[in-house]
Amino acid sequence: MVDASFIVGIVGNVISILVFASPIGTFWRIVKNKSTEEFKWLPYVTTLLSTSLWSFYGILKPDGLLVLTVNGAGAVLEAIYVIIFLIYAPKKTKLSMIKMVAAVNIGFLALVVFITLYVLHGSIRLLVIGVLCAALTIGMYASPMAAMTTVIKTKSVEYMPFSLSFFLFLNGGIWSTYSVLVKDYFIGVPNALGFALGTAQLIIYFMYRGQTVPGKAQETDEEQGSGHLIGKVEMAQTGNLPKASSLPKQPLSRQDSAVKIIKAFSMPPLELQSFWNQRDFTGEMGQKNAISK
């Protein structure tokens, strides 16, 4: 008879790998255009570190095969994304990225592996790696809380996409179940938190669904406002529009927030911390929205 934890782990593998694979469209565009344009590289570097550490945890842990497979696949995908970015990034960006990759994905990771294998002994090895991995995952799940606060303040779900909340709920739920079955607190604690936050976000979403941001209904020419946002995206992609566009401009705070929503639809959960903590992702987000349409 097949163990229930194995079945749940397989389902978790499928869901997580689909999430890891979500940026493929972005990198297909980079390869096709032979340019990274305004896309940001930091989320992929940090996600590579996280998946690498979880893969190492899966190697150390007895019966950690399913943890190793999902994060190993994620690490391979993230490594491919990083390599593609390095190939097509501008020289200045490439140099900064190489330094970060060398420091984080090579230096720090090698240091952790060395200390774990040659300095630590017995069960303390798994404890140290487990705590480190759990901390990274908690940071990932906690980062979208700003969106919940914004929804409550504005009474509108415009600033919290349903897909992001649903994936937090689904991913956290399946891995929480797995952790209970295999009695692994390092997997269970952060994913239980993610499940709780995902549930809270879904509740908030359905509470405020259909409501709009105050003042939005008073816009007299919504079509022109949308035209300005599309115009900025086209200018960033093709350079065909002049810098001084005559189209009406939306307030910066609303436009930034709207574009952040678009980005969140396609971002893997492991990239969320870098995304929500950086305010300069608007160029990338707007371009990804244009492509998805």
- Residue carrying the six token digits 């994060």: 71
Query: Which is nearest to 35 in space by CA: 76, 94, 110, 116?
Result: 94
pLDDT at 19: 81
Picking from 148, 152, 156, the residue whose alpha carbon sits closest to that of residue 215 is 156
Give the number of other CB atoms < 10 A from CB of residue 93: 15
In the numeric block, which tokens belong to residue 90?
A: 């501008």
**pLDDT value of residue 238:** 41
How far is the C-alpha of 290 from the C-alpha of 208, rounded, in Å?
27
SS3 content of the chain, % helix, strand, coil (to 5): 80, 0, 20
Side-chain-facing half-sphere of 100: CA atoms under 13 Å: 17
List the structure tokens of 67. Answer: 């943890």
Angle (deg, nearest 10), helices 109-118 and 42-60: 20
The predicted structure's pLDDT at residue 156? 81
The pLDDT of residue 258 is: 44
User: pLDDT value at position 33?
Assistant: 93
Of 63, 16, 12, the residue nearest 182 (C-alpha): 63
In this prediction the pTM is: 0.66
From first to last of the 293 residues of the chain, give the pLDDT tens digit. 668 889 999 999 998 888 888 788 889 999 999 999 888 888 888 889 989 999 999 999 988 999 999 999 999 999 999 999 999 999 999 999 999 999 999 999 999 999 999 999 888 999 999 999 998 888 777 766 767 787 888 888 776 767 767 877 888 899 999 999 999 999 999 899 888 888 888 888 888 887 655 544 444 344 344 334 334 334 444 444 444 344 444 444 444 544 444 444 445 444 544 444 444 444 444 444 444 44
CA distance 12 to 1: 20
Cβ(164)–Cβ(264) below 8 Å: yes
Return the number of other C-beta atoms located less than 10 Å from residue 51's C-beta. 25
What residues does each domain of the chain span? 4-213+258-292, 219-250
